[in-house]
Amino acid sequence: MSHEKPLEGKVALITGASRGIGLAIAHCVAGLGAKLALCARDPKRLEAAAAGLQQPGATVLAVPADVRGANEIASLVRQTEQSLGPVDVLVNNAGIGYFAPVQEASEANWDSVLDTNLKAVFLLSRAVVPGMIRRRAGHIINIGSLAGKSAFAGGAIYCASKWGLLGLTQCMAEDLRAHGIRVSAVLPGSVATDFSPHAGKDTSRMLQPEDVAHAVESILTQAPQSFISEVLIRPAQKP
């Protein structure tokens, strides 16, 4: 392992990796030398993202999957381990939003958001943690949101998923730190992606996907005797 490639030989699994924050994280982690397993629901978009990451010496595996299902997660982890090796870094980035007054929301809205933003993190982490425990090493990074600390009108379901994600992350960190596994949360404010509408905002002053990727890089390259448990990211100026 070199200082220029601190993740050389390591395997990183990134969900929601076909665009936006996930794709920016994939580019960053590839630059650190890791072998990549990319996951997203749209096969065509995922293949295009993987093609854009192909460089001399790079190893990129694209696995279309819906992370809301335990069977698809098991297949995703199995394909990753068979092709690349055991997962050293898991970035739980896949997420969806629903923004409307709580009285207008349906049970289907609740299930879709909570299954994607929270249940999937539990299922994927549970799938890779046993191997990390055996190796006494690993990183799990959960991409949350400042909505996990703030309330706003129309955000009931989304905020519930992100508040829950923060609680899950903190408890996982306590469960796993004795096994050499570091669990962290990155909580950005609004990022200039197509995740949600940004009408009336100056997107050039908003957070960019690369800002979140930079936080992930900081977590993955910290000294071994410590871990960054939580990173909050805001724009320098309000857009």
Its pTM stands at 0.95
Looking at the annotation, which residues are catalytic?
A: 158
Is 110 within the bounds of a domain? yes
pLDDT above 80: residue 197: no
- The CATH number covering residue 215 comes to 3.40.50.720
Is 4 within the bounds of a domain? no
pLDDT score at 143: 98
**Arithmetic mean of pLDDT over the chain:** 94
Is 6 within the bounds of a domain? no
pLDDT score at 202: 83
pLDDT above 90: residue 196: no
Range of the domain at 32: 11-233
Is 239 within the bounds of a domain? no
Is 175 within the bounds of a domain? yes
Three-state SS for 28-94 is HHHHCCCEEEEEECCHHHHHHHHHHHCCCCCCEEEEECCCCCHHHHHHHHHHHHHHCCCCCEEEECC
**What total number of domains does the chain contain?**
1
